[in-house]
Amino acid sequence: MRTNSPGNNGHTKKNNGNNGHALGAGLTPRQKKFADHYIEMGSAIDAYYKAGYKGKNDNVAYVTAHQLLRNPKIQEYTQERNAQLSKERVADIEEVKEFWTNVVRNPETKMQDRLKASEFIAKTNGAFIEKMEHTGKDGGPIEVSSPREQIHSRIASIASRIREGERNQ
């Protein structure tokens, strides 16, 4: 994104998706290392030792490692870092469309695969809109009721039967 606010001389400012603050801002290098190892290994105590922390024994290390996990800055960092890693691992729709386009345009790809890729592109662009008509009982409208309405209807039915039973006695 290009910004032209005073003082930046038109330089490009990249939005990295973390609300304008550096990832891991406010963490010590050791805390950041702990969080990175925790993300990688999933074990707080292993991450604690791997980050260079020392504990008198494993019980102390366990307690201290879990205190670190409750640190709001470490929690924020791990959430942002996990989101970043997920984004790097999973293709977004634009990347998928680029892949399909490369398949379509590659003359060495089988025609069957090229046609399938072109179909996928067309579908994601809304070229094939499938319409289905649903009807209720005997072709009529579909009756929709909420669970609350169903409960009230059942209660009314039960109450009516009770009243009829009292009248018959």
- Write the pLDDT tens digit of every residue in 13-54: 333 444 556 777 889 999 999 999 999 888 899 999 999 999
Q: What fold, for 29-89?
A: Arc Repressor Mutant, subunit A (1.10.10)
With H, G, I as helix, E, B as strand and everything else as coil, classify residue 2. strand
pTM of the complete model:
0.47
How many Cβ atoms sit within 10 Å of the Cβ of residue 84?
Answer: 14
Asked if pLDDT for residue 57 goes beyond 80, the answer is yes
- Per-residue model confidence (pLDDT) at position 35: 92
Per-residue tokens: 89 = 């691992």
In sequence order, the β-bridge partners of residue 12 are: 2
